[in-house]
Structure 1
């Protein structure tokens, strides 16, 4: 099933944690308040492979970091543990705000790039496709690897036997058509 990660209502049909995440984001009106930045919830909660300590990672397309910082402060500055900073990484100015709400750690991330071109989004889309193709066995294995302490991309790298750096391998798979991804899965299944 292909998910529209831009429409958060998919969380309403998800597990209890996904529904709670939706309610927390709705209560804060994050999507509405940040609409001009095209916010998307990324990471493990949308994929149902989160751990109890997993945060809500919201990625945004931001070209005016100063204005973005001001809006974050205006809308979420009263939330517990609020902190916001910007720094240049890899030639891109990135802004990150962290705060908590209804038991969730929330991170809002912005950089001058469409969200569909950001690594977090592309990783999530590829990981979702791999999980869908891998079925319940893949979901269970990734959850177990993460519970054992592996970061998400490393867990995918181990379970799906990705060659090289799993962060880069997953990004390279983003543009693969379904047929190529199916072929990859069949090859991996033949190696078991």
Structure 2
């Protein structure tokens, strides 16, 4: 089983993960977003973040306008606050950005269970790939990210996969037990 359904693992992680845990706890972000089933996703949970990496939080929403209003009321006073509606992977998405104590936060909302969203699915696949390979592979991912490459393209480059990195990664063959993940 993977540890990403709560933020508890961050408390015992690397320095950046501990910092994120403390920040999320101090500002009660997960509690404020609780009704949207929030999950922290992306590079920080995997320990492949770079200094400019932000904290990505995905949410399941039913009504984009209500979600926007809720985010505005809860986080509208935060530094660099912005909110927009966009299409992400052909899904209407609300993207909210702000900063807490110098750490950039991005909150994404889609009308889909969080564990089915592409950001979560990519992270779980990347988690299993990182477990399969050695630390050298992980360091190469981080180096490509330092050079400006996005996460999924970095993985597909090192794995020698062709095509749209956001799609081909979803088809990467993983050995799994039935109880590990289901998407």
TM-score by length of 2: 0.90
**Between Structure 1 and Structure 2, which shows a larger proportion of helix residues?**
1
Aligned equivalent of 2:175: 177
Aligned equivalent of 1:17: 16
Structure 1 unaligned runs (5+)? 180-192
In 2, Cα distance between equivalents of 1:127 and 1:90 = 18
Query: Which of these two proteins has the greater Rg computed from alpha carbons?
Result: 1
Aligned pair in 2 of structure 1 residues 85, 149: CA closer, same or farther (>3 Å)? closer
Residue 69 of structure 1 deviates from its aligned partner by: 0.9
Matched-pair contact (CA < 8 Å) for 1:3–1:10: no
Q: What whole-Å deviation, never above 9, does each CA across 1:7-55 have from its counterpart, x for those lacking one?
A: 1010111111111011111122111111111101111011111110000
Residue 123 of structure 1 deviates from its aligned partner by: 0.5
Matched-pair contact (CA < 8 Å) for 1:97–1:107: yes
Aligned equivalent of 2:164: 165
Q: Please list, as runs of the form range in 1=range in 2, the aligned pairs for 1:128-167 lying within 5 A after superposition.
A: 128-167=127-166
Aligned equivalent of 1:103: 102
Residue 84 of structure 1 deviates from its aligned partner by: 1.1
Number of residues of Structure 1 aligned to a counterpart in Structure 2: 177
Aligned pair in 2 of structure 1 residues 151, 178: CA closer, same or farther (>3 Å)? same
In 2, Cα distance between equivalents of 1:26 and 1:99 = 16
Aligned equivalent of 2:82: 83
Matched-pair contact (CA < 8 Å) for 1:142–1:155: yes
Q: What whole-Å deviation, never above 9, does each CA across 1:86-111 have from its counterpart, x for those lacking one?
A: 23556532111100001111000001
Q: Which segment drifts farther, 133-142 or 118-127? A: 133-142
In 2, Cα distance between equivalents of 1:104 and 1:154 = 24
Aligned pair in 2 of structure 1 residues 64, 47: CA closer, same or farther (>3 Å)? same
In 2, Cα distance between equivalents of 1:90 and 1:125 = 18
Structure 2 unaligned runs (5+)? 178-183
In 1, Cα distance between equivalents of 2:35 and 2:150 = 31
In 2, Cα distance between equivalents of 1:88 and 1:159 = 28
Instruction: State the Cα RMSD in Å.
Output: 1.7
Aligned equivalent of 1:65: 64
Aligned equivalent of 2:36: 37
Aligned pair in 2 of structure 1 residues 8, 89: CA closer, same or farther (>3 Å)? closer
